[in-house]
Structure 1
Amino acid sequence: MQPEFWHKKWQESDIGFHNSDAHPLLVKHFPTLGLAAGSRVFLPLCGKTLDIHWLLAHGFQVVGAELSPIAIEQLFDELGVAPEITQLENLQYYRAPNIDVFVGDVFNVTASLLGHVDAVYDRAALVALPLAMRTNYTSHLKTITGNAKQLLICFEYDQTQLPGPPFSICDEELQAHYNSSYTIQLLESAEVIGKLKGQCPAWEKVWLLNNNAGII
């Protein structure tokens, strides 16, 4: 998607993708990552998700990347925190205790800017990108995180019935993106109640990606 698509969504508050609570599949499956309290978790294309509130409340550090400054201004307002804001290369950097967010194109986030992360939680990034961008995204994500383990949530449905986003990610595509670097385990496949956007039968899938040691 072009950046203007997402900027317009936030400018018009057309954010039906924004949940009103932490995602129940995060709450259920996050412990499978086996992270210690204080671990640093990366959320690409994070928006102002309440998943961040949940992670902070449970003692984790959060680092996010998001295109829209509107989303991040609202995130910090809702957290009740005034961030320190600086310019880092082509990105704005929002910083507060236990949370860092890079605002701008996620492809401008480098490994050196990101720093060490213990895990990735991807609920909104892979499904937000059209097919032409997903291979570049997954390659970039592996590079900047050092193949950090992931909890990944995506949808699978008949893409001909709905244009997306969120886009459909079939099992074979997921394997193509990640099989060379990760051991991939399906944790849950749940039918979307009421259909996706009320139109299309769909399944929400939760995947655990564990690093294959020594493969970069």
Structure 2
Amino acid sequence: MEASFWHQKWERGDIKFHENETNPLLIQHFGKLNLANGSRVFLPLCGKTRDIAWLLAGGYRIAGAELSELAISDLFKELGLEPTISKVGKLTRYSAKDIDILVGDIFDISTEYLGPVSAIYDRAALVALPARTREQYTSHLMKITGAAPQLLISYEYSQLLMDGPPFSVTEDEVKQHYGAAYQVKSVERKNVAGGLKGKVASTESAWLLQKTGK
């Protein structure tokens, strides 16, 4: 998707993809990553997700990436935090205690800009990207994080009935992107109540990705 597509969605308040509650699959399965208290978790294309507040409350530190500065301004307001704002290359960094968000194109983020992370939580990044971009994204994500362990959430439905975002990402595709670097394990698969966007039957899946050999 072009950057303008997402900027316009945030400016119009057309953010049906924004969940008003913590994602149940995060609550149910995040503990399976076995992270130490204080571990730093990276949320790519994070928006102003309520999942961040849940992770902070659980004692984790947050790193994030998001295209929309409006979304991140809203996020800090909702968290009740006053950010320190600085420039990092082509990106803008919003920082406060235990949270650093890089605003801009995720492909402009380097390992140096991101810093070390213990895990990745991808609820809305892989599924937000069209097929032609997903391979570039997954390769870049593994590169900048050192293939940190990951909790990934995906959707699967017939794109003949509806196009994304969120896009349909099959089990085969998850394994195609990540199978060489990770052990890919399905930890839950459930039907989306009422259908995705209330339009099409869909399943939502949670995947645990651990480095091969662990």
The normalised TM-score by structure 2 is: 0.99
2 CA distance for matches of 1:13 and 1:142? 31
Runs of 4+ in structure 1 deviating by more than 2 angstroms, as ranges, are none
1 CA distance for matches of 2:77 and 2:116? 26
1:45 pairs with 2:45: yes
Secondary structure of 2:160 counterpart: helix
Q: Which residue is 2:117 aligned to?
A: 117
Q: CA deviation at 1:159?
A: 1.1
Q: CA RMSD in A?
A: 0.8
Q: Which residue is 1:59 aligned to?
A: 59
2 CA distance for matches of 1:19 and 1:10? 14
1 CA distance for matches of 2:211 and 2:113? 21
Q: CA deviation at 1:196?
A: 0.7
Secondary structure of 2:147 counterpart: coil
The normalised TM-score by structure 1 is: 0.98
Matches within 5 A, 1:124-139: 124-139=124-139
Q: CA deviation at 1:213?
A: 4.6
Deviations 1:120-166 (A, max 9, x none): 00000000000000000000000000000000000001111111100
Q: Which residue is 1:21 aligned to?
A: 21
2 CA distance for matches of 1:99 and 1:178? 27
Q: Which residue is 2:85 aligned to?
A: 85
Q: Which residue is 1:187 aligned to?
A: 187
Matches within 5 A, 1:121-200: 121-200=121-200
Q: Which runs of 5+ in 1 are unaligned?
A: none
Instruction: For 2:141, give the aligned amino acid.
Output: L
Q: Which residue is 1:12 aligned to?
A: 12
Instruction: For 1:203, give the aligned amino acid.
Output: T
Deviations 1:108-130 (A, max 9, x none): 01011111100000000000000
Alignment identity in percent? 51
Q: Which runs of 5+ in 2 are unaligned?
A: none
